[in-house]
Amino acid sequence: MVNKISSEPVQYRKDGTVAVITINNPPVNALAKHVRMAIADYLEAAANDHLTLAVVICGNGRNLCGGADIREFNTPDRQVRPMTRDLMNLIEAMHIPVVAAIHGPTLGGGLELALGCHYRVAHRDARLGLPEVLRGVVPGAGGTQRLPRLVGFRTAVEMITSGTPVDGAKALEIGLVDQVTEDDDVCAEAIRYAEDLIAGAVGLRVVSEMTIDMDADTGAAVVAEMRAKLEKSARGMEAPFRCLESVANTLTMSFADGWAREAEISAEAVASVESRSLVHAFFAERQVSKIPDIPADTPRRSIERTAIVGAGTMGGGIAMSFANAGMPVTLIDSGKSALDRGIARIRDNYAATRDRGRLSAEDMDARMGLITGAVGIAAVADADLIIEAVFEEMDIKQSIFRELDGLARDGAILATNTSTLDVDAIAAVTGRPGDVLGLHFFSPANVMTLLEIVRAEKTEKDVIATVLDLAGRIGKTGVVVGVSDGFVGNRMLAPYFRQCDFLVEEGALPQDVDRVIEEFGFRMGPFRVSDMAGLDISWAIEKRRAETRPADERFSPLLERICEKGRFGQKTGAGWYRYEGRAAVPDPEVEVLIAARSDEMGLTRRDISDDEIRQRCIYQLINEGAKILEEGLAIRASDIDVVWLNGYGFPRRRGGPMFYADMVGLPEIVATMDRYHGEWGDKWEPAALLRELADAGSSFKDWDAGRTA
Ligand code: NAD
């Protein structure tokens, strides 16, 4: 056995008559230029060595190969030959069998590399898939042409248009791999497999030469069926349809033609706004936990036991989030009946999930077992983290924090789940404001992934670092924000909802606004959302705001008038709409109220274009986002995007409100706002930062880069 062990990014050795090419390019064995070139050289060496009868390609570390190197995107290195897609053809053209040894996440270009091999051996726990669609692109290295030939047309269409990976066992079942092993040394298993091929004189299986398992007519019917499905599930998206088109080409084109067309479709996708937005969202979510003045190696506090004060809607949902993550939690309320109600609500919630077949009875018991109920705040004594979720009143919260100060152990983190109150004022009543912060969960807290981590004036850095980690442990995306009414998300929501009301007063109907916003890509328009959340809640907030509203500020009393009719939304069967079951139906009674309001204001109702509706709603979001950045309440524009993607259903394919602004172009937004400002005055003055960036021909992305450089 000749071994050549080194730190080279690709290693080559002989194991008897088998040549072993090992990719050794941490962290994910990406196909960087030098990796591709070395693989090509070693393939040639193996082909020219008459004592080599088979080749195995494997990967060091945690996977076979992570695909194309993202660091090479938009650089000339990407074009250096062999390009990624050529490499698979070089492998296929070998005159001796090439076997891929697959372990770990072998996705995208990594799986395409394996598809170029003649045979595949995988670890049972490997993950194999073509998730390009999730980044708005199309597998571009032969994946759309080889996968259907290997696993069948329908299976390939489903895998490629959804991006869903399979494990090794499933891969064997669908014919994606030839052998599965539980041996952690997949490379050794692949060598044995290659030796068997040699011994049995088994020939090459060239995937590109295999025939599709479907005739053109049957295939066309499958394509039509899938297109109809995607029109529902991927409405407004481009990439799933591009993927479908490319796979469908296998029905009518030769491999060479389909492969060439795949490159064109892939290039179009890479250049699309959709792909740029999805890639932005991906990096924004990675970036969000990096806090400029908090080093990555800041020591964390240990969080094992959590106590939640207040067993209401939020307290219960938060407790479930911890239990779902396998963490013990004590749920506290002031009275036995409130506590019992809270625990019963949690049990009902789990039972509903169990009854839908999404949670086993054992798992439900295990989770309930992690939640301990307690009456009285003294039960916080042994907790590492205490989250207060009682009524939204400053006096009550401050008195609880005074008590916590006396009861909590030294070093415990004290958090409030307030949605509107001043966290600094809450921290100030304790003798340990450095341990205090806001943890703003969203409702339902066991479902929603967004967590606004409110950094108060005195919050210690290690507290922020600790809760950022904790957010990940309980399956949340934590975004660090500053103290402000509504923090980031809800503060931006207020001017957006205001515009919706004004649009209705001027001539639109709730269903018009909802349709435009849903076409933009939100799952639900603002009026349907309000009906679902309960108009009584918005009404209560409005009443509170009315106390501080300047006398000359324009506002709409429509919400109040609807509520006065007892229409609180879905739960009362009527709100902005009338409900037939869960279906929202436009209601003439609401239209009468709206028309009366327009009359009262002396407005002649007019047709409002979809463009105007979209601009007035979304530009208000963007403008408030810019103010939030000016005030230093969010670290990056991309953090605001993460808030809106995870907490408010902003369409991912548009990257978030601030990235969308960049795509529209800031000068265009400012010009439109200036026009609206001339027309309505009011809140249409563009934020100083927005105007400054627009004048400088800059973008929010540039602004972010300037701050983290
Ligand atoms: P809720 O009325 O459902 O629950 C409050 C619970 O606190 C009740 O069970 C009550 O008995 C208990 N409680 C009151 N005083 C207490 C005390 N001294 N000691 C122990 N328990 C006490 O309210 P909620 O909707 O769960 O809201 C709780 C907090 O979460 C509020 O600050 C609210 O602003 C915030 N929040 C709510 C939402 C939401 O959508 N509901 C979203 C984010 C944040």
Catalytic residue among 92, 132, 238, 505: 132
Ligand 1 atom having least distance to the Cα of 443: 40
What region does 253 belong to: left with phi over 0, alpha with psi -120 to 50, or beta? beta
Query: Does residue 362 carry a catalytic annotation?
Result: no
Indicate if the pLDDT at residue 392 is higher than 70. yes
Query: Does residue 72 carry a catalytic annotation?
Result: no
Indicate if the pLDDT at residue 706 is higher than 90. no
Cα maximum dimension of the chain: 93
Superfamily of domain 2-269: 2-enoyl-CoA Hydratase; Chain A, domain 1 (3.90.226.10)
- Ligand 1 pocket test, candidate residues 334, 391, 443, most atoms within 8 A of CB: 391
Please tell me the residue having the least CA distance from ligand 1 atom 18: 334
Residue 695: pLDDT band with limits 50, 70, 90: very high
Residue 73: pLDDT band with limits 50, 70, 90: confident
- What is the pLDDT, as a whole number, of residue 32? 94
Three-state helix/strand/coil letters over 124-138: CCCEEECHHHHHCCC
571-598 pLDDT, tens per residue? Answer: 899 999 999 988 999 999 999 999 999 9
Contact 426, 397 (CB under 8 A): yes
Share of the chain above pLDDT 90, in %: 89
Indicate if the pLDDT at residue 3 is higher than 80. no
Parts of the chain belonging to CATH 3.40.50.720 = 306-481
Give which of 377, 376, 346 is closest to 364, Cα–Cα: 346
Which CATH code for domain 306-481?
3.40.50.720
Q: What are the two backbone dihedrals, phi and then psi, of residue 55, each rounded to the nearest 5 degrees?
A: -125, 140
Ligand 1 atom having least distance to the Cα of 310: 7
624-658 pLDDT, tens per residue? Answer: 999 999 999 999 999 999 999 999 999 999 999 99
Mean residue pLDDT across the chain: 94
- What is the pLDDT, as a whole number, of residue 709? 54
Residue 6: pLDDT band with limits 50, 70, 90: low
- What is the pLDDT, as a whole number, of residue 338? 96
Task: Identify the three-state secondary structure at position 671.
Answer: helix
CA distance 45 to 366: 57
Mean pLDDT of 72-98: 90
Task: Identify the weakest region by mean pLDDT among 169-173, 398-402, 552-556.
Answer: 552-556
211-261 pLDDT, tens per residue? Answer: 999 999 999 999 999 999 999 999 899 999 999 999 999 999 999 999 999
Ligand 1 atom having least distance to the Cα of 416: 32
Kindly state if the Cβ of 330 falls inside 6 Å of ligand 1. Answer: no
CA distance 252 to 414: 64
Give the relative orientation of helices 143-151 and 109-116 as an angle to the nearest 10 degrees. 60
Task: Identify the weakest region by mean pLDDT among 139-148, 238-247, 351-360, 551-560.
Answer: 551-560
CA distance 105 to 685: 49
Indicate if the pLDDT at residue 2 is higher than 60. no
Parts of the chain belonging to CATH 1.10.1040.50 = 489-704
Nearest 5°: the CA angle 556, 560, 562 is: 105
- For the chain, how many residues are written? 709
Give which of 68, 60, 276 is closest to 186, Cα–Cα: 60
Other residues' Cβ atoms within 10 Å of the Cβ of residue 709: 5
Expressed in angstroms and rounded, the spacing between residue 417 Cα and the centre of ligand 1 is 8
Expressed in angstroms and rounded, the spacing between residue 569 Cα and the centre of ligand 1 is 22
Contact 62, 24 (CB under 8 A): no
Share of the chain above pLDDT 70, in %: 99
More confident residue, 76 or 295: 295
469-514 pLDDT, tens per residue? Answer: 999 999 999 999 999 988 999 999 989 999 999 999 999 999 999 9
Please tell me the residue having the least CA distance from ligand 1 atom 19: 334
CA distance 562 to 505: 14
Please tell me the residue having the least CA distance from ligand 1 atom 1: 312
Residue 68: pLDDT band with limits 50, 70, 90: confident
Contact 418, 409 (CB under 8 A): no
Kindly state if the Cβ of 416 falls inside 6 Å of ligand 1. Answer: no
Parts of the chain belonging to CATH 3.90.226.10 = 2-269
* Block residue for tokens 């698979």: 88
Three-state helix/strand/coil letters over 325-370: CCCCEEEEECCHHHHHHHHHHHHHHHHHHHHCCCCCHHHHHHHHHH
What b-and-e string marks burial along 685-703, b requiring 16 or more CB atoms within 10 Å of the CB? ebbebbbbbbeeeebbbeb
CA distance 231 to 304: 46
- Ligand 1 pocket test, candidate residues 341, 390, 418, 491, most atoms within 8 A of CB: 390
Which CATH code for domain 489-704?
1.10.1040.50
Expressed in angstroms and rounded, the spacing between residue 316 Cα and the centre of ligand 1 is 9
Residue 541: pLDDT band with limits 50, 70, 90: confident
